Amino acid sequence: MRIGVVTFPGSLDDRDAARAVRECGGEAVPLWHGDADLLSVDAVILPGGFSYGDYLRCGAIARFAPVMEALVPAARGGLPVLGICNGFQVLTESHLLPGALIRNDHRKFNCVDQRLVVENASTAWTSDFEAGQEIEIVLKNGEGGFVADEKTLDMLEGEGRVVFRYVPDAEGRNPNGSYRHIAGITNERGNVVGLMPHPEHAVEEGYGPSLDGRGFFTSIIKQTLESAATA
């Protein structure tokens, strides 16, 4: 199981994502932003960080990287893709996922252990979870507020494409002002998932708040192996 991890200038969680892949039994394959070649990988992770310094908008320049010229059509053709934090921003800028990510409503950078509810356990990246399950992973972002118009939000809700939702605090607020407490979404096919929290920081004992992040990586590894066995 070969999972590509893209490195853009400014990526800072690419090695963490690669380590998480290895910890969960996969082979991490480095992909360089300047190469329009996915090296025949089985899935791709767009990691967190500040691609191209987050100039213009977060993810706006990364959208035009040569690697995205190969990734966008591959994702539309069914290649599993996970966008984490900045990677989620890149997915929305690339129009692989709807909506946008804007500055946190409190105008401060978040770095917290965050509880999420798994809303959709049928995507390529969440099949090892159960719908309704609560997990806890790391959240760290300055521009993590998910926004979209009401029509798009209703579509995501109606089609079951909200994958993760923040567990609100006692006052009913989520950590960045995301509409409807949305922390992660998927495309219609279920192969492309984007979320703001960081599962790659919750895969090892003694590091992070839990081992809940492992489910993302074990899900895609199992699904790919099962698909290969039945091909």
DSSP the chain: -EEEEEE-TTB-SHHHHHHHHHHTTPEEEEEETT----TT-SEEEE--B-GGGG-SSTTTTGGGSHHHHHHHHHHHTT--EEEETHHHHHHHHTTSS-SEEE--TTSS-EEEEEEEEE----STTTTTS-TT-EEEEEEEESS-EEE--HHHHHHHHHTT-EEEEE---TTS--SS--GGGEEEEE-TTSSEEEESSBGGGSSBTTBSS-STTHHHHHHHHHHHHHHHHH-
Is-catalytic flag, 181?
A: no
- Hunting for tokens 């401060």 — which residue is that? 108
Q: Catalytic residue among 85, 93, 136, 201, which?
A: 85
Q: Catalytic residue among 119, 136, 181, 198, which?
A: 198
Strands 110-118 and 192-195: unpaired
Is-catalytic flag, 150?
A: no
Is-catalytic flag, 134?
A: no
In one letter, which amino acid is 226? E
- The answer to whether 191 touches 124, Cβ cutoff 8 Å, is yes
Q: Report the catalytic residues.
A: 85, 198, 200
